[in-house]
Amino acid sequence: MPRREKSIREIFSNGLLKQNPTFVQFLGMCPTLAVTKSVESALGMGAGVIFVLVLSNIAVSLVRNYVPKEVRIPIYIVIIASLVTVLEMIMKAFVPDLAASLGTFLSLIVVNCLILGRAEAFASKNGPLKSAADGLGMALGFTGGIVLIAFFRELLGAGSITIWGSLKLDLIPELYQVNILVQSAGAFLVFGILVSQINKYRMNKADRNEEV
Amino acid sequence: MELIAIAFGAIFVNNVVLQQFYGLCPFLGVSTKKSSALSMGMAVTFVITLSTIIAFLLYDLVLVPNNITYLSTIVFILVIASFVQLVEMFIKKFSAPLYSALGVYLPLITTNCAVLGVAIDTTVNGSKIFGVGTDVTLIMVTVYALGISIGYSLVIFLFSAIREEMDAYPIKRNWQGIPIALITAFIMAMVFYGFGGIV
């Protein structure tokens, strides 16, 4: 039986859940841990990655037939770096506070392995529409992952959920906050626990499928 | 004295992996064996130190005078990528044992965000590291980059030693691999907080 072509919807949901970049593939771990101190900066990072990944996937897929195989990686890096520079300028102009809180990690989207990985593994072999769907699915999966980590870190560590600027919910009084979670070390702890629980769920599901 | 403080801060207090979260992919990926962690540390030390010096000179002598600092991200990544390529070609030609030890790790370093991160931190965000208003000199940048790479090598080596020991113990299957490694890194980061009191 020939393998069926994947539909756009399947490609999209593949990145969102089944091949989630944060919890299943472990791509782009530096920003995953560094910008999850608050939900706000995680959302900002997610928006940046959505912008760069969708556009870079489209651009790479448009030039895929003209790029010589030997120099493809440098060309992809230049495409991604130009998009990141555009993003840096936009963010510094319109949301300077957010740009400052992301700091160096805004520029480091260039070396986020998720973006180069999708360019190489998907966009260089598929058309622009499918590549856009793949980029959007992967980037949303990444955003969901880091927002989930940030949710637990900020809620338990600082007692609040900051969505945007002053749009902030204070939920836990200071006495019950676990301060270590919003410091650097806490990122490792929260991420490790979440990964182990998601692994448990996935393994149990795989076991059940085998029994049937 | 000032240089010693910069070096100490870069190695322990602001450790590149545990505090700044740079270069985590190789930190978790290559740290399963002590020997490969050591080779990775050497390759990273070499590349970070030299590429930071190049990036600093480029920034100070070319980007700032021409007022094109907004291009620094794209310039730095191109410089780093071509520098890594050059180093690889160079040691392949001149030192076979060195190439067999470091060869596979060099291409990985291009996408190690520690390299680009340190290059950007010492130039564009220089005031954050060396204090606002400080006249940043090449020697300070070199010491900082060297300190960062020593900190990276130290932590990745310690981490691989712990992981080698851990192989001997039974671990629940949903904690195997990445999750238990992250918890180990959590404990190491807590230990490194202790150095914060010294400076």
Phi/psi class of residue B33: alpha, beta or left (left: φ > 0; alpha: ψ in -120 to 50)? beta
Contact residues on chain B for A179, CB-CB shorter than 8 A: none
Contact residues on chain A for B22, CB-CB shorter than 8 A: 30
Instruction: Judge: B174–A34 Cβ closer than 8 Å, yes or no.
Output: no
Residue A16 included in any domain: yes
The single-letter code of the amino acid at B8 is F
Instruction: Judge: A199–B78 Cβ closer than 8 Å, yes or no.
Output: no
Q: Is residue A71 classed exposed, middle or buried when 0-12, 13-18 and 19+ CB atoms within 10 A define those classes?
A: exposed
Mean pLDDT, consecutive 10-residue stretches, chain A (212 aa), reads: 70 84 84 88 93 95 89 88 93 90 88 87 91 93 94 89 80 83 90 92 88 76
- The residue-averaged pLDDT of B99-109 equals 74
Proportion of chain B above pLDDT 70, given as a percent: 98
Helix (H) or strand (E) holding A149: helix A128-157
Give pLDDT, residue A188.
Answer: 93
Instruction: Judge: A108–B189 Cβ closer than 8 Å, yes or no.
Output: no
Give pLDDT, residue A13.
Answer: 85
B20 touching chain A per CB within 8 A: yes
Cβ–Cβ contacts within 10 Å for residue B72, how many? 21
Measure CB to CB from residue A203 to each of B116, B173, B190 and give the nearest one: B173
Do A147 and A43 contact (CB within 8 A), yes or no? yes
Structure tokens at A71: 């120099």
pLDDT tens-place string over residues B31-73: 888 888 888 888 888 889 999 999 999 999 999 899 888 888 8
Distance from CA of A155 to the nearest CA of B (A): 19
Give pLDDT, residue B134.
Answer: 73
Instruction: Judge: A191–B73 Cβ closer than 8 Å, yes or no.
Output: no
Distance from CA of B174 to the nearest CA of A (A): 5
Give pLDDT, residue B56.
Answer: 93
The single-letter code of the amino acid at A145 is G
Domain range enclosing A62: 8-211
Residue A3 included in any domain: no
A187 touching chain B per CB within 8 A: yes
- The residue-averaged pLDDT of B145-164 equals 92
Residue A1 included in any domain: no
Spatial distance between the Cα atoms of B199 and B62, rounded to a whole number of angstroms: 35
Give pLDDT, residue A1.
Answer: 41
Residue A78 included in any domain: yes
Spatial distance between the Cα atoms of B122 and B128, rounded to a whole number of angstroms: 9
Cβ–Cβ contacts within 10 Å for residue B120, how many? 26
Residue A118 included in any domain: yes
Spatial distance between the Cα atoms of A151 and B1, rounded to a whole number of angstroms: 42
Cβ–Cβ contacts within 10 Å for residue A2, how many? 4
pLDDT tens-place string over residues A152-195: 999 998 888 888 877 778 888 888 888 888 888 899 999 999 99
User: Which residues are CB-contacts of A137 (< 8 A; sequence separation ≥ 6)?
Assistant: A11, A12, A13, A14, A15, A16
For A45-85, give the DSSP string: HHHHHHHHHHHHHHHHHHHTTTS-GGGHHHHHHHHHHHHHH
Residue A3, helix vs strand vs coil? coil
Do B29 and B140 contact (CB within 8 A), yes or no? no
Measure CB to CB from residue B73 to each of A31, A107, A185 and give the nearest one: A107
Cβ–Cβ contacts within 10 Å for residue A147, how many? 17
**pTM over 0.90, yes/no:** no
B120 touching chain A per CB within 8 A: yes
Distance from CA of B21 to the nearest CA of A (A): 5
Do B148 and A160 contact (CB within 8 A), yes or no? no
B79 touching chain A per CB within 8 A: no
Give pLDDT, residue A3.
Answer: 57
B78 touching chain A per CB within 8 A: yes
Instruction: Judge: A33–B21 Cβ closer than 8 Å, yes or no.
Output: yes
Distance from CA of B78 to the nearest CA of A (A): 8
- Beta bridge pairs of residue A167: A164
Domain total in chain A = 1
Give pLDDT, residue A148.
Answer: 94
Measure CB to CB from residue A30 to each of B22, B183, B189 and give the nearest one: B22
Structure tokens at A32: 């995953």
pLDDT tens-place string over residues B184-194: 999 999 998 88
- B199 — pLDDT class (breaks 50, 70, 90): low
Between the two ends of chain A, the Cα-to-Cα distance in Å is 23
A25 touching chain B per CB within 8 A: no
Do B192 and B12 contact (CB within 8 A), yes or no? yes
